Structure 1
Amino acid sequence: MSNDDFFNEIVNPHGQDVKRRRRSRAERRRDQHHEEVSGRRASGRSSAPAGDRHQRRTHHTDEPSTPVGEQRPPRTPASPATPAPAPAGDRPATGRRARRLQERQEQEAATGREVAEDPASDLFASEPPPRPRTRVEGARTRRLREQRQAQERARRKKRLRRRLVSVMVLVLVLSVVSVAGYQAFNFLHDTIPQEDMSDYEGAGDSADKVVVTLPAGAGGSQIGSILKEAGVVASVGAFVKAYNANSNASGIQSGTYTLRRGMSAAYAVASLLDPASRKDHTLTVTEGATKRQVKESLMRVGGFTDAQVEEAFADTAAIGLPAVAGGNVEGWLAPSTYDVTADATATELVKSMVSTTVSRLNALHVPAESYQTVLTKASIVEREVSSSDYYSQVARVIENRLADTGGETMGKLQMDSTTLYGLGRTGGIPTKAEIEDPSNAYNTHVYAGLPPSPIGSPGEKAISAVLNPQEGPWLYFVTVDLGTGKTLFAATYDEQVANSKKLDEYCEAHKDMCGSGQGTPPPSQDPDGDG
């Protein structure tokens, strides 16, 4: 607020009257000033020379002076099409200023003389300033401001009330839900029976045994249900608790077990981890085992008859035997451990063995037409040496001999393992007569090339060695220590003879190991053999 406004509104509420009186005094001063100026002009014209008066009157123009006593002709007004530009800073002639300017122009036209402009006449000629705000208007502004403040306070109170109501509703809902949940828990706890945690004590009745079969992938709860149904444990809950408490429980394998009835849960878990509980229901085919040895295991573990096993071997369609096998399952009964369930048949077990062999060959990317050849070579490798460290070297000897059709070996393998297989034996050393016997189709001392079929079931390491034999020039090898399996390899016949003498020395010291009760001479007596 300016000083004038403050004065008009606070000191003198009748601001309009003061302003009116101020303007009246200004007008009186202006009229007085005009009279003084007119008097000076009149005295000046009478006393001053004409030239001086004309110079004072026309000092800013280029018009010629008028002689004294002559009347100056009136001015020619400027053309309206080309008005003279107004000096910069001049205010437009409006209101009272316009009236004063018109009066001056009329006076100049009547007298024929220029009338000087009175600066004081324009002191209040501009438009009046904006009317100052009155006390009434200030009060109205204050009332509006107070109204707005009151409305803002009301809105804040309303928002606060809404928030309080929302919090109260939320608390009420949570309370209702909590009470309902508590009631539901009590209802379910009273109506649903609790888990049975009863348990037996001790190792159970040794005279009361039962056979149970655990499926693949069974967990603690499923195993507990099977044992509870068979009468081995008292409750599933007790077994699950014991199962979770034993850090080795995850090692329980699927298969068939012989257990006692009435065992404690902890003892049942320990029995399932004991291999002895499975030995009567587990059939294991070792690397290098022949089909005759597998048949004996099937008869002993599964309780099958000789006829049942031979029938399973002969049913090539039922067991899925590939055509390249020529109807002979030898070499196709994969080394592994098989579970013999109470309702298992010989055909199902043999089928599982053949299927495992096919899967392994496919995993090693062996072509189907090469199945039989690879299995035959791998079975010889498996039988010739007892350590897998020599598998790849023996596989190279086989390849070199088969390729040496015009050299020292004439393409003959000359492997004792094949000759012994044809004789129905798996160990020992063949005699010189047996080595020279042509009636043995598996006698590779006589016949060149591979034998008619595999001589046993090779493992995965032997198969891999046949597929990737170690590079070398070897044509001979001999095991010089039958206890440790130490084997020496040679590229020439002379080297082989020197290595065979080491075997002779070993056999002199370990006649029980070399003779095997068969009276066979050492390989050195057969210079064409490999030992």
Structure 2
Amino acid sequence: MTQGDVSHTIFGEPEPPPTRLRARRRQPQRRNRRWLVLLIALALLGGAAWAAVSVIKPVVASVFDFGGSESADFPGPGEGEVEIVVSPGETGEDIATTLRDAGVVKTRGAYIDVARSDPERAAAIQPGRYTLLKGMTAAEAFAVLADPANRITSGTTVREGLWATETFEVLSASTGIPVKEYAAAAKDAKAIGLPAEAEGNVEGWLAPSTYEFPENSTAAEQLAAMVAQTVKVLDAAGVATKDRKDVLILASLVEAEAKLDEDRPKIARVFLNRLETDGEPTYGLLQSDAAVSYGAQRRSLFPSSAELNDASNPYNTRLIPGLPPGPISNPGAASINAAANPADGPWFFFVAVNPITGETKYGVTLEDHNRNVRELTAYCNEKPKDCGL
């Protein structure tokens, strides 16, 4: 749910202006005269007609959810658990309907009145599944939905930094949809809403997150939700459409190389300093081992000598200057924000001197870098398993 004009976005049309109210002042008198005529007619027609009205009135009341009395709300606290779903984009009125239809609240109006009294919390209700009781008061139901801790988080979690192929495997394990269906859907750019600047490559566009996919949703629909989330993050970071691809490439490199959020903007700056400098000390080479490993399609902290010297690998940033041809993973929001808003600094080098904690040191000169590399080498000699050796 989004912030905005609460009266429109969450609860529908606002109350009519005073001029309309003044125009209707005399209507209650006319309405009273109509009821008087109706009552006289009923008296003449007999009990059968009155029985008809007694049936029609509750039906009308249920349709229009007339409130204003204690009977519009359950007494609470309720009993018997029931699970309800708040879908993305639903308004407060949609939620009110869901609650009433599930027997959680007695009327839509009762819930809407409570939510209107606290529009900030109402707007912050998150999509997802919630367990409530049948016969709750509207205030109790609202309190459950407004507390994020009550959201059932049994969805599909896709972590940051996975390759697209690895993402398909995670999705398949959670949903039961075969990997091949995700792979096929990824090739249909139109079906999954893949922007033109992606050039048909889904890598980097599958936003890491926890998803509550609708029941029976297809592979294409699920990938579309992930692509849409990436676009949303890019837009929030202020990335122009023409820059999306390059920002995602840089963000994917940052995602692969950084362990701590505090290092992401600094690592982004290191890569940009290298890209913007043709000469010493790095001659435009990014020298990302993670990029080399992606091109070789082998997960490794340290690529082999053969992989490092493979000039046929277009992702070999050890040998080929500039950005690689595409993202090397699916970066999270923190890495995208770092790529869009890098730190200021003169660094050309960085190295994680502790692969476990992620402690990273930066250097301006090659001498600085070599000193930091020696620290990493000493650590790996002492604890080779930590370094994947």
Pairwise CA RMSD of aligned residues? 4.2
- Of 370, 377, 380, the residue aligned with 1:497 is 370
Seen in structure 2, the aligned counterparts of structure 1 residues 469 and 259 have a Cα distance that, compared at 3 Å, is closer
2:380 is aligned to 507
Which residue identity does 2:366 align to in structure 1? Y
Q: Deviations over 1:368-400 (max 9, x none)?
A: 443222211121122211223223332232233
Match of 1:450 in 2: 323
**What letter matches 2:125 in structure 1?**
Q
Which AA in structure 1 matches 2:324? P
Give the equivalent residue in structure 2 for 1:485: 358
Structure 1 counterpart of 2:288:
415
Q: Distance in 2 between matches of 1:391 and 1:399?
A: 12
Per the alignment, residue 230 of structure 1 pairs with: 102
1:481 alignment partner, SS class: coil
Equivalent position to 2:89, from 190, 201, 216: 216
Distance 1:242 1:294 in 2: 43
Q: Secondary structure at the match of 1:483?
A: coil
Report if the CA contact (8 A) 2:157-2:209 is conserved: yes
- Equivalent residues of 2:126, 2:148 under 8 A apart: no
Cα gap change, 1:333 to 1:215, in 2 (>3 Å): closer
Q: What is the letter of the counterpart of residue 197 of structure 1? A: F
Letter in 2 for 1:485: G
Deviation at 1:334, TM superposition (A): 3.0
Aligned to 1:313: 186
Q: Who is 1:197 aligned against?
A: 74
Match of 1:323 among 191, 196, 208: 196
Aligned to 1:462: 335
**Contact 2:233 / 2:333 at 8 angstroms: preserved in 1?**
yes
CA distance in 2, matches of 1:510, 1:349: 42
CA distance in 1, matches of 2:288, 2:232: 29
Shift in CA distance, 290/236, structure 1 to aligned 2, threshold 3 Å? farther
In structure 2, do the counterparts of structure 1 residues 279 and 427 end up closer, same or farther at CA, with 3 Å as the change threshold?
farther
Structure 1 253/260 Cα, relative in aligned 2: closer, same or farther at 3 Å?
closer
Whichever of the two has the greater Rg, that structure is 1
Q: Tell me the equivalent position of 1:279.
A: 153
Distance 2:76 2:237 in 1: 50
Q: Is the 8 A contact 1:199 1:235 kept in 2?
A: no
The change in CA–CA distance for 1:466 and 1:263 in structure 2 (over 3 A counts) is same
* Residue in structure 1 matching 2:257, options 384, 392, 405: 384
In structure 1, stretches of 5+ residues that fail to align are 1-176, 520-531
CA shift at 1:234, angstroms? 6.7
Question: Is 1:299–1:305's contact at 8 Å kept on the other side of the alignment?
Answer: yes
Distance 1:371 1:503, change over 3 A: same
Amino acid at match of 1:195: A
Q: Post-superposition shift, 1:314?
A: 0.9
How far apart, CA to CA, are the structure 2 residues paired with 1:410 and 1:241? 63
d(CA) in 2 for partners of 1:447, 1:507? 28
Q: 1:352 aligns with which of 202, 209, 225?
A: 225
Aligned counterparts of 1:215 and 1:367: Cα–Cα separation in 2: 26
Report how far residue 336 of structure 1 moved.
4.4
| TM-score computed with the length of structure 1 as normaliser | 0.51
Q: Measure, in 2, the Cα distance between the counterparts of 1:401 and 1:373.
A: 15
Q: C-alpha distance in 1, partners of 2:350/2:142? A: 52
Deviation at 1:428, TM superposition (A): 3.0
Partner of residue 291, structure 1: 164
Q: Distance between the aligned counterparts of 1:425 and 1:289, measured in 2?
A: 13
For residue 307 of structure 2, the aligned residue among 434, 445, 453 is 434
Question: How far has the Cα of 1:330 moved from its partner?
Answer: 0.8
- Tell me the alpha carbon deviations over residues 250-308 of structure 1, each in whole angstroms, 9 at most, x when there is no partner: 4873434164775866589648846575323x344444343234323433444433233
Task: Say which structure, 1 or 2, has more relative contact order (CA 8 Å, 6+ apart).
Answer: 2
The CA distance in 2 between the partners of 1:495 and 1:379, in whole Å, is 26
CA distance in 1, matches of 2:135, 2:374: 61
Shift of 1:453: 0.9
Distance 1:366 1:252 in 2: 25
Once residues 263 and 430 of structure 1 are traced to their aligned partners in structure 2, the CA distance between those partners, rounded to angstroms, is 62
Distance 1:408 1:297, change over 3 A: same
Q: TM-score, normalised by structure 2?
A: 0.67
- Matched positions, count: 327
